[in-house]
Amino acid sequence: MFTNPEQFANVTKALFEFQLETFNTLTSKTVQGVEQVIALNLATAKSHLEDGLAAGKEISQASDPKAALQAAADKIQPGVAGAAAYHQQLGDIIAEIREEFTRAADAHMTEAKNNLSALIHDVTKNVRPGSENAVQIVKTAIDNAFTGYEQVTKATKQAVQAVESEIAKANAIVTPAPPAKK
């Protein structure tokens, strides 16, 4: 059925190498994203610890209970702002990862379709009589594989959008509303 096995091998090898490259890119981006989230979490934890210690010291040194309550109340707004900033930074990290994944997946799809289209064209241009069914089976299998890949890509994009939506909801909860105008 294949008139040029060497060309088939070369296209298959190129496709496999591109898949490895895509996988390496996505893995690297994932690791980088995890590193960014860990760094953000450590910085946030350190900041909260330092702020908590400073607030505790200030409250314990207050001259009376009213001053202690006022000092505690004064620390609430910066804490809320810090939580909002944390959620914004986390959202930015996730958005960057999503963009990289989408770009890599789209590039992979385009490259794979081009290579396989060229291969199918080469295979089908010199098909022997009676082999049409086999060629159609190969085309259908390739089309089904691409349909499955596109569905996985779509599901991944939807999952990332759901995470971003949850981050936006969390941001809305911790971000204070602007003061009402009188």
Q: Return d(Cα 27, Cα 67) in angstroms, integer.
A: 53
Lookup: tokens for 79: 């804490």
pLDDT tens string 114-144: 777 776 676 667 666 776 776 677 677 667 7
Report the percentage of the chain scoring pLDDT > 90. Answer: 2
CA dist., res. 72 & res. 74, Å (int): 5
Cβ atoms within 10 A of the Cβ of 98, count?
Answer: 19
pLDDT at res. 46: 92
- Who wins on pLDDT, 121 or 58? 58
Tokens of 170: 């969390």
Helix (H) and strand (E) counts in the chain: 3, 0
Residues of the chain with pLDDT > 70: what percent? Answer: 66
Q: What's the mean pLDDT when you consider all of the chain?
A: 75
pTM (whole model) above 0.85:
no
